[in-house]
A and B are shown apart, each in its own frame.
Chain A
Amino acid sequence: AQSVTQLGSHVSVSEGALVLLRCNYSSSVPPYLFWYVQYPNQGLQLLLKYTSAATLVKGINGFEAEFKKSETSFHLTKPSAHMSDAAEYFCAVPVPRAGSYQLTFGKGTKLSVIP
């Protein structure tokens, strides 16, 4: 069954440094992929969504992700980290089930930004 794997449960970067959060999908090319962010004591907020219209997807807060079929990856990047980026990030893929779809999440990557 389709799933996503996030490499690295914790990532630390210095303020101003490149942010790279990794996500790999498991099998066939998914029609959609999502990145969500969760700030402490809050729900999930959509960062960006891949819909196969473009391989490079730009999201909110300066984040973007590139879909690479050859690497089965959809890594999230931001050129320059800001203290406010400290949060947990989730990659997600819809999995077909019982005539509908079920959103399946990776385990999450907690991003720390060091001043």
Chain B
Amino acid sequence: KAGVTQTPRYLIKTRGQQVTLSCSPISGHRSVSWYQQTPGQGLQFLFEYFSETQRNKGNFPGRFSGRQFSNSRSEMNVSTLELGDSALYLCASSLGVAGGGTDTQYFGPGTRLTVL
């Protein structure tokens, strides 16, 4: 079974631009969660989508948004990029039956975003 894939793997943007990251979950998984990883803050939960609905959201500003499609693929968007948005963005998929973090989550390789 193919794992979680994320595209692109690397991205360089400038302040003020917007960016869209994509995540394809493991086949059969209906839940997709997004995390931001930085050296200072570690791994922080952004949001979780299940059956095209946002089921949970972390403490990030409204510039961070996401969506999920009927095939469970998910995208996250960051508008008006700031220098502090430079991070590794990780996507994880799970069956989603038990609800969010109680299911085993399988992570993709991440997208490394650099904001100049």
Residues of A within 8 A of B (CB): 31-32, 34, 36, 41-46, 49, 90, 92-95, 97-108
Contacts and interface: CB of A to CB of B under 8 A. Distances in A.
B16 interface: no
B110 A43 contact: yes
B55 interface: yes
B109 A102 contact: no
Contacts of B99: 99-101
Contact of B45 (A31, A41, A43, A102): A102
B100 A44 contact: no
A44 B90 contact: yes
Chain A CB within 10 Å, residue with most, of B98, B102, B108, B109: B102
Given A102-B58, A104-B45, A107-B42, A43 B102 contact: no
Interface in B52-73: 55-58
A45 B48 CA distance: 19
Interface residues of B, number: 25
A42 B56 contact: no
Contact of B100 (A34, A92, A103, A107): A103
A102 B45 CA distance: 7
A47 to B, nearest CB: 11
Given A43-B4, A43-B108, A32 B42 contact: no
Contacts of A45: 107
Contacts of B45: 102-104
A44 B107 contact: yes
Contacts of A32: 101-102
B24 interface: no
Chain B CB within 10 Å, residue with most, of A41, A43, A49, A99: A43
A59 to B, nearest CB: 12
29 contacts: A36-B107, A41-B109, A43-B4, A43-B6, A43-B90, A43-B107, A43-B108, A43-B109, A90-B43, A93-B101, A94-B100, A94-B102, A97-B56, A97-B100, A98-B56, A99-B55, A99-B99, A100-B48, A100-B56, A101-B98, A101-B99, A101-B101, A102-B58, A102-B101, A103-B45, A103-B101, A104-B45, A104-B101, A105-B43
